[in-house]
Amino acid sequence: MELEDLKSLIELLKDTDITELQVEQEGTKVRIRREKMFPAVEISQMKAALQENIAGEKEEETQRLITVTAPIVGTFYRSPSPEASQFVELGLQVKKGQVLCIIEAMKLMNEIESEVDGIVMKVLVENGQPVEYGEPLFLIEPL
């Protein structure tokens, strides 16, 4: 397969909802994969909603919120693998013992569980970012 062929394959995926494409030709296997991207509009809507949430509830709610902190140093992941969906979504309910995220340390995936039933009010760390011991990860409003 020529470089040109690869380029046109990548071109093909643009402006589609396809996140993975596998082609086999004369013994050569090519797999093209990409992260699902939200269209720009969707992101700004999410941001607005999030800011509204924070602004409206800041004063009286902060004391009620529970901060989930990192029990170990490592890399923070919101999903079990790049293709999989996130463990928890902002604004949705979680149960006590439910996995919130993964912290990778020494190639080991450590699942971090929620200590309470509640609603995820804020995610404080971006996917793939390093975190240190004790770093705040989530704010959860207990139910």
Partner 1 sequence: MKLFKKILIANRGEIAVRIIRACKELDIRTVAIYSDIDRDSLHTRFADESVCIGPASSAQSYNNIPSILTAAEITDSEAIHPGYGFLSENHHFAEACLTSGITFIGPTAESIRLGGDKAKARQIMKRRGVPVVPGSDGHVVSEEAALKTAKKIGFPVILKASAGGGGRGMRIAKAEDELDKFYFMAQREALAAFGNGELYVEKFIPAMRHVEVQILADTKGNIVHLGERDCSIQRRHQKLIEESPSPGTTEKFRKKVGEYAIKAAKAFKYRNAGTVEFIVDPDGGIYFMEMNTRLQVEHPVTESVTGVDIVKEQIKIAAGFPLELKQTQVRLSGHSIECRINAEDPERFIPSPGKITFLSLPGGPGVRVDTAAYNGCVIPAHYDSLVAKLIVHGRDRSEALARLKRALDEFIIEGIKTTIPFHKKVLNDPDFVKGEFNTGFVEKMGTPKTSEEK
Of the candidate residues 23, 38, 132, 136, the single one contacting partner 1 (CB under 8 A)? 132
In the shown chain, the binding pattern of residues 50 to 89 toward partner 1, with x for contact by CB under 8 A and - for none, equals: ----------------------xxxx--------------
Among 46, 108, 109, 143, interactor with partner 1 by CB under 8 A: 108
How many Å apart are CA 141 and CA 88, to the nearest integer? Answer: 14
Cβ-contact 112, 71 below 8 angstroms: yes
| Cβ contact 42:116 at 8 Å | no
Of the candidate residues 61, 113, 117, 135, the single one contacting partner 1 (CB under 8 A): 135
Please name the residues in contact with 7: beta carbons below 8 A apart, sequence gap of 6 or more.
none
- Comparing CA positions, the residue from 62, 57, 71 lying closest to residue 111 is 71
Q: Given candidates 10, 18, 105, 109, which one binds partner 1 under the rule CB under 8 A?
A: 105
The residues binding partner 1 (CB under 8 A) are 72-75, 105-106, 108, 130, 132-135
